[in-house]
Structure 1
């Protein structure tokens, strides 16, 4: 069977110039844009710092944590943003309702804060307290925070799983 003039010409052309290749530049541009998009949008997930020394109480709270100043309280120490501020035993032994070291540190945090808040609104703070800390200590911490104009106080809790998720109907 005889080939047409066109098919002969196409064979000659393909032998001379080779087959067409895949243009990878466009594909790389698309993947680069996709990577940047995922990097920018992956920072929306808010997580509280984890500490093995603190066991948070469980709750059915649905609200995600905001980025605020974090006061971490375990059985031994009170920490603000990871810095040790006071010893729990000394605070419990004290008769004062306000913890002076915590008040001073919260004033420093308020000055360094990026939040622009009026005097009556107050600042935001998250308290991560071990579920075994005494109420007397928690009351002193809350009184100190309100004294330092941190009136929007959030308590960090672990989200309790639903019964359906656990497998127990």
Structure 2
């Protein structure tokens, strides 16, 4: 008779295993939530691909495509006009970068060293190198010591295919 009474009881719910799973899930989400995409998504810019593993940091972003040049989302020059201008430095880009520096210095209330000022150039992969060279020269003329080019990161499997293709 006692055996039948024991069978009639419903089994208890083990909450410890469930709590362990949720704890692991919370830690996983906390650790991986710091991988925030720093670069804006531009539909009209197709970035070159690379196997570089360095992640993008927050910095001033210059977007260059076949039609125009943007600094922090603000249109500063047309690409055709820039290519027609003489000289190496693009004055519109340099002036906008200096304005961005002033905004950052007012915001931080500290003078940033030239070497620590960062700019990331998002250039379409079909752009002539001469244009990118002029944009980079404008960055250094505006006292930005660290100039980076944005790329699309390829995985290790893609890198093996890329190496085999060369």
Q: For residues 42 and 61 of structure 1, what CA distance do their matches in structure 2 show?
A: 20
Alpha carbons of 1:91 and 1:163: their partners in 2 closer, same or farther (altered >3 Å)?
Answer: same
Cα distance between partner residues in 1 of 2:98 and 2:140? 11
Query: Displacement of 1:41 after TM fit?
Result: 5.0
8 Å Cα contact 2:114/2:145 also seen in 1: no
Q: Which runs of 5+ in 2 are unaligned?
A: 1-12, 14-22, 162-166
**Aligned pairs for 1:126-165 within 5 A:** 126-160=120-154, 161-163=158-160
Q: In 2 relative to 1, CA 37–106 (structure 1 residues): closer, same or farther, beyond 3 Å?
A: farther
| Whole-Å separation in 2 of the counterparts to 1:57 and 1:135 | 13
Q: CA deviation at 1:45?
A: 1.0
103-112 or 60-69: bigger deviation: 103-112
Q: CA deviation at 1:65?
A: 0.6
Partner of 1:99: 90
Cα distance, 1:98 vs structure 2: 1.3
Q: 1:37 to 1:81 in 2, by over 3 A?
A: farther
Question: Structure 1 pair 36/102, CA: closer, same or farther in 2 (3 Å)?
Answer: farther
Q: 2:104 aligns with which of 109, 112, 115?
A: 112
Unaligned runs of 5+ in 1: 1-21, 23-32, 165-169
